[in-house]
């Protein structure tokens, strides 16, 4: 009913709007007496100190949350982090031992590939921490420890609020590791946590501008394909933006690392092809920002229609943006939490304009329980 959907035509739009709450609920209770506490933790501080390598294994959108978190965990902990599709990890004989931490990320906790990856990791004696949105699901049951995302039930087949919650949860794992290893001082850990806690408000601000993004979505409904470009944490955001568009709008969409443009993707650019560019902050990452500006000017010169997601007040980007979507300024590692939101809205609105069922895209299942 319309009431169940919070007055929206689709659950997905309601779930997009629930993202500030999903983030706040996922963070709540995890910083007590100046320390990060992982939920229902069965990994001791000593266990965390012993970790010498981290794998994140997941499928679909959850995999993208791992790609985002890699930047933060490596930066905070100085531990090597590998992020792998669960279906690939399981069958390629990964190098694991008891000092390996495997973070298995799954909204449903029932995805067959991720479950098999967990089983394999445990057979190899690795420690497995599940990040899951569903209480008591199979993946947390078979893991050594679990950190729940508290995004609430997600009905839309394409994940939205659980993606943001997963990023927040894996960031908590990263901070817990940094705290145990001493690669960050306690007050630094506290500051990072505080910055995370400011994100629900930042996301709420993005949501107050969705009408304009929806209008933009409608103008893209007849495009044959859309490309997404990003660098650093903007790269997995580009991948997620493209996945959303494939899932919902059945449109050919690809995400690329902007630095790879000249190694292939630029050959795809033609007159009026929409290209979504996820810009880093001009202050936070000036070098990356300058490189992306040059990437956009290249694609614009070749006739692409540039749709730029940029920090509020970033004037330098205006000349290169046919369409500009502004998001609040936040610390670099937290940018995916704001820049993904317009891409979710864009995909949903394009799908709607094309007459598709946003909550139940064809051929897809909410949880894939066969390998
Ligand atoms: C399906 C869903 C995706 C989800 C993926 C992984 O493909 O349609 O939205 O990201 O499964 O699901 P999980 O429950 O493991 O996060």
Q: Which atom of ligand 1 is nearest to the CA of 58?
A: 15
pLDDT at res. 302: 93
Per-residue tokens: 125: 């004696």
The CB of 368 under 6 Å from ligand 1? The reply is yes
Given a contact cutoff of 8 angstroms between Cβ atoms, the answer to whether 13 and 244 are in contact is no
**Residue 105, Cα to own-chain centre: how many angstroms?**
12
pLDDT of amino acid 41: 62
d(CA 327, CA 339): 7
Q: Which of ligand 1's atoms lies nearest the C-alpha of 114?
A: 15
Cα 13 to ligand 1 centroid, rounded to whole Å: 18
Q: Which residue has the tokens 């790269």?
A: 235
pLDDT beneath 70, residues of the chain:
1, 39-41
Task: Evaluate: CB of 159 within 6 angstroms of ligand 1.
Answer: yes
Quick one: pLDDT at residue 265? 86
* Ligand 1 atom nearest 61 alpha carbon: 10
Atom index in ligand 1 nearest the CA of residue 139 equals 15
- pTM to 2 decimal places: 0.96
CA 205, distance to chain mean position in Å, is 18
d(CA 227, CA 214): 18
Q: If you measure from the C-alpha of residue 253 to the centroid of ligand 1, how many angstroms do you get, rounded to a whole number?
A: 18
The distance of Cα 348 from the centroid of its chain, to the nearest Å, equals 17
DSSP 115-177: HHHHHHHHHTT-EEEEEESSTT-HHHHHSSEEEE-------SSS-SHHHHHHHHHHHHHHHHH
Residue 62 CB–ligand 1 contact under 6 Å: yes
SS3 state at 281: coil
Q: How far is residue 4's CA from residue 151's CA, in Å, rounded to a whole number?
A: 16
Q: What would you report as the CA-atom Rg of the chain, rounded to the nearest whole angstrom?
A: 20
Distances (CA, A) of 138 to 106, 123, 315: 10, 16, 49
Catalytic residue check, 366: yes
Probe residue for ligand 1, chosen from 107, 239, 243, 371 as the CB with the greatest number of ligand atoms within 8 Å: 107
Query: Which residue is associated with the tokens 């940029």?
Result: 310
Strands 323-327 and 305-311, by their bridges, are parallel
Q: How far is the CA of 133 from the centre of ligand 1 (A)?
A: 11
User: ipTM of this model?
Assistant: 0.94
b or e along 318-351 (b: 16 or more beta carbons within 10 Å of the residue's beta carbon)?
eebbebbbbbbbbebbbbbbbbbbbbbbbbbbbb
Task: Kindly report, residue by residue over 262-319, the tens digit of the pLDDT.
Answer: 998 888 899 999 999 999 998 877 899 999 999 999 999 999 999 999 999 999 999 9
Measured from the Cβ of residue 122, the count of other Cβ atoms closer than 10 Å reads: 16
Q: Sign (positive/negative) of CA torsion 327, 333, 334, 338?
A: positive
The per-residue pLDDT for 40 is 61
Out of 58, 59, 163, give the residue to mutate to test ligand 1, the one with the largest number of ligand atoms within 8 Å of its CB. Answer: 59
The string of pLDDT tens digits covering residues 210-234 is: 999 999 999 999 999 999 999 999 9
**Residue 56 to residues 29, 101, 115, 215, 241, Cα–Cα distance (Å):** 23, 8, 13, 36, 20
Tell me 356's DSSP state: -
- Say how far apart CA 358 and CA 205 lie, in whole Å: 23
Q: CA-CA distances (angstroms) from residue 231 to 184, 261, 311? A: 25, 11, 15
With a 6 Å cutoff on the Cβ, whether 108 touches ligand 1 is yes
Burial label for 34, CB within 10 Å (0-12, 13-18, 19+), is exposed
How many angstroms separate the alpha carbon of residue 87 from the centre of ligand 1? 13
CB atoms within 10 A of CB 253: 25
pLDDT score, position 360:
86
Distance between Cα 41 and ligand 1 center (Å): 24
Structure-token match 């098999």, residue found:
116
Q: In what order do the strands lie in the sheet with 225-230?
A: 252-257, 225-230, 274-278, 305-311, 323-327
Q: How many whole angstroms separate alpha carbon 149 and alpha carbon 22? A: 8
- Look at residue 284 in the predicted model and tell me its pLDDT: 77
Three-state SS for 310?
strand
Q: Of the residues 247, 368, 370, which should be mutated to test ligand 1's pocket, given the most ligand atoms within 8 Å of the CB?
A: 368
Q: Residues 235, 241, 246, 248: what is their CA dihedral angle, to the nearest 10 degrees? A: 160
**Contact 369 CB / ligand 1 (< 6 Å):** no
């Amino acid at each position: 009913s319309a009431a169940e959907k919070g007055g929206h035509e689709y659950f997905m739009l309601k779930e997009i709007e629930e993202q500030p709450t999903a983030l706040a609920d996922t963070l709540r209770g995890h910083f007590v007496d100046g320390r990060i506490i992982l939920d229902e933790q069965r990994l001791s501080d000593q266990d965390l100190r012993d970790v010498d390598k981290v794998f994140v294994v997941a499928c679909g959108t959850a995999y993208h949350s791992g790609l985002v978190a890699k930047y933060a965990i490596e930066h905070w902990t100085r531990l090597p982090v590998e992020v792998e599709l669960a279906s690939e990890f399981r069958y390629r004989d990964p190098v694991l031992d008891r000092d390996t931490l495997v973070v298995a990320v799954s909204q449903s906790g029932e995805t067959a590939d991720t479950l098999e990856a967990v089983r394999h990791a445990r057979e190899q004696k690795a420690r497995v921490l599940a990040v899951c949105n569903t209480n008591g699901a199979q993946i947390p049951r078979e893991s050594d420890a679990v950190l729940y995302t508290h995004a609430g039930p997600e009905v839309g087949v394409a994940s939205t609020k659980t993606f943001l919650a997963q990023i927040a949860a894996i960031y908590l794992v990263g901070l817990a590791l940094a705290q145990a290893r001493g690669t960050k001082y306690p007050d630094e850990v506290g500051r990072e946590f505080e910055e995370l806690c400011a994100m629900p408000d930042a996301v709420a601000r993005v949501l107050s501008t969705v009408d304009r993004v929806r209008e933009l979505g409608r103008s893209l409904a007849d495009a044959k394909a859309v490309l997404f470009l990003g660098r650093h944490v903007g790269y997995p955001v580009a991948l997620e933006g493209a996945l959303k568009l494939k899932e919902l709008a059945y449109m050919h969409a690809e995400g690329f690392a902007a630095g790879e443009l000249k190694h292939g993707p630029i050959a795809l650019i033609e007159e009026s092809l929409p290209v979504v560019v996820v810009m880093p902050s001009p202050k936070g990452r000036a070098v990356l920002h300058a490189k992306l500006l040059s990437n956009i000017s290249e694609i614009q010169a070749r006739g692409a229609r540039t749709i730029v997601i940029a920090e509020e007040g970033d004037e330098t980007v205006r000349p290169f943006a046919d369409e500009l979507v502004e998001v609040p300024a936040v610390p670099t590692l937290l940018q995916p939490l704001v820049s993904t939101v317009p891409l979710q809205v864009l995909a949903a609105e394009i799908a709607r304009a094309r007459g598709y069922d946003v909550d139940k895209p064809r051929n897809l299942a909410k949880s894939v329980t066969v390998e």
